[in-house]
Amino acid sequence: MVNYKGRLDRTFGALVDPTRRAILAQLERKDGASISELAAPFAIKLPAVMKHLNVLDDAGLVTRSKSGRTVTVRLRPQPMREAMEWLRRYEHFWSGSLDRLATYAESKETEARRRGR
């Protein structure tokens, strides 16, 4: 349970940063990229990119594998699926609630107007 919440926190925490999202988007276009390929579009130094990759790795959003001197980075979908599941569940929950809230508030409004307030 605690792990689930911890994982979600890490996933959302990793996803709030625009550079990290850009890295994920790059991997979406070409899965299995080297670190220098990933760093190329950014105006930041390699160590900074490494730091972002560490965060993404901790969140389980990417995996890194080493072959010789090349590190290959790949997307890992599971945490993203959990995050989307969280969002979908609440979307369903609140969508029903807000429909009823609207109906109720509108009936209260009609009632108030009838009483001339």
Partner 1 sequence: MTSVTLVRRIKARPQVVFDAVTTAEGIAHWWGPDAGPVLLAESDPRVGGRYRVRFRKLDSTEHESSGEFLEIMRPERIVMSWRWKGGQEDPGESRIEIMLRAVPEGTELTFTHSLLRDEETRRSHEGGWAGALDKLEAHFARGASA
Q: List interacting residues with partner 1 (CB under 8 A).
A: 1-2, 4-5, 8-9, 12-13, 15-18, 21-22, 24-25, 28, 75, 77, 80-81, 83-84, 86-87, 89-106, 108-109, 112
Any idea which residue has 């929950």 for tokens?
Answer: 93
Least distance to partner 1 from the beta carbon of 32, Å? 14
Question: What is the C-alpha separation between 104 and 114, in angstroms, rounded?
Answer: 15
Q: How far is the CB of 36 from partner 1 (least distance, A)?
A: 21
Residue length of the chain: 117
Q: 70 has which bridge partners?
A: 67
CA 7 – CA 16 distance, rounded (Å):
14
Cβ distance to partner 1 smaller for residue 24 or 71 = 24
